[in-house]
A = this chain, B = another copy of it.
């Protein structure tokens, strides 16, 4: 099978360059001097040009025709390479390079404009990003029966489509709204208060990250405006953010990113720098971050341990019982910010973005009307008005970097997390006893053994099915939420 070997040698170099590109993005968010932004945009465009040329190299087509897969891993590698080759062949090099350049600039302009609540200065560059992504979506949809939005979604969730997402949302919406109404009508949860120094928060986050299995010998933790995980293989970095008035933001952001990073760190070392040596989709990725963040770290068992640990670290934190602490951690409120939303409201935030971004890509919504559309929809869905752009349509980095089609995978991840944790609790009876001791390893160990180590060996839905033994469905998540929040807001 020389064709397969030649293809994989070529691919390995491409994978290594993709890791460099990812880390250059990490650097941009964590280390880059502010004055370097225009030069960085040229650097990112240059990397994108090289990667695009490699991913569309005509030799790949020849190799793919001749290559035979000796085993299931090779078969999965060929499937992934073929998908990427077909995809990148549809996108002209000029467009790929332009997208890299514009999104790099737009990300910087988003950060600046967001800091000064300057929606007007962000709109032109966002319009340019949308225009380029529309063009890309149309190119990808050509010759398929997908529309431009579904075509874009394939990059994040192979096999996913807006109709399925809409059906999922239709099933979730009434039951989440009912939970929300119930919580908002009940006695408000207590809140923590105290002095939460940045240094102590970071130290606690590092301690918790290690307990959740994050390996600092193959990663590092820094701060950034928007928490994220970056890289695959032996260099998987995470970022978090710190609010000295709120100890939960840093801690749960960290555990969330540890979920993502553990997936990457957990993939079989034999898959290093191959197409299957990384998480299979954004939805499955988010199943890990949400399992870690919500189903483990926000569980009543783990909150019991965390209550004691936080009192050790910070002294008086304003609540005095494990139950009140658990209620504070899981307070259902009326916030503006998706990333700070509780488990009940979170998916409602995603539904809003899903509809708006689909409108942008399909041409039903102009960028000029985006802020108004967001604010109207938000008032209708959440019952109060957006007060400023950083609490509204400019809160997330995603659209500035062109990530339309990505948001719904967050909700899909929550759905998958529901399926996975139900299976883990079925298979491993001691999960909550260990969490009550501050030890998530029975749960994280189940994830590693049943999902993480396989990387992208199987397609997303099949990955969940293999781990759980069942077809994915929204029911486990909804049942979990109704049990948890029914107890919290009786």
Contact of A46 among B20, B33, B49, B237 (CB under 8 A): B20
Judge whether A13 is part of the interface by a CB distance below 8 angstroms: yes
Judge whether A24 is part of the interface by a CB distance below 8 angstroms: yes
From residue 28 to 65 of chain A, which have CB atoms closer than 8 A to chain B?
31-36, 38-40, 42-43, 45-47, 49-50
Is A27 in contact with B36, judged by CB distance below 8 angstroms? no
Is A20 in contact with B20, judged by CB distance below 8 angstroms? yes
Is B33 in contact with A17, judged by CB distance below 8 angstroms? no
Judge whether A12 is part of the interface by a CB distance below 8 angstroms: yes
Is A272 in contact with B217, judged by CB distance below 8 angstroms? no
From residue 164 to 206 of chain A, which have CB atoms closer than 8 A to chain B?
none
CA distance A216 to B34 in the complex (A): 9
Judge whether A83 is part of the interface by a CB distance below 8 angstroms: no
CA distance A105 to B219 in the complex (A): 18
Query: Interface code A1-40, partner B: CB below 8 Å = 1, 0 otherwise?
Result: 0000000000011101101100110010001111110111
CA distance A20 to B414 in the complex (A): 36
CA distance A33 to B46 in the complex (A): 26
Q: Given the complex, which residues of B lie within 8 Å of A237, measured CB to CB? A: 33
Contact of A45 among B16, B27, B45 (CB under 8 A): B16
CA distance A189 to B261 in the complex (A): 54
Is A217 in contact with B16, judged by CB distance below 8 angstroms? no
Contact of A43 among B19, B31, B33 (CB under 8 A): B19
CA distance A220 to B217 in the complex (A): 24
Rank and list the top 6 A-B pairs by shortest CB-CB distance, nearest first.
A36-B235, A16-B46, A35-B217, A35-B218, A13-B46, A16-B43
Query: Interface on A for B, CB 8 Å cutoff?
Result: 12-14, 16-17, 19-20, 23-24, 27, 31-36, 38-40, 42-43, 45-47, 49-50, 215-220, 233-235, 237, 272-273
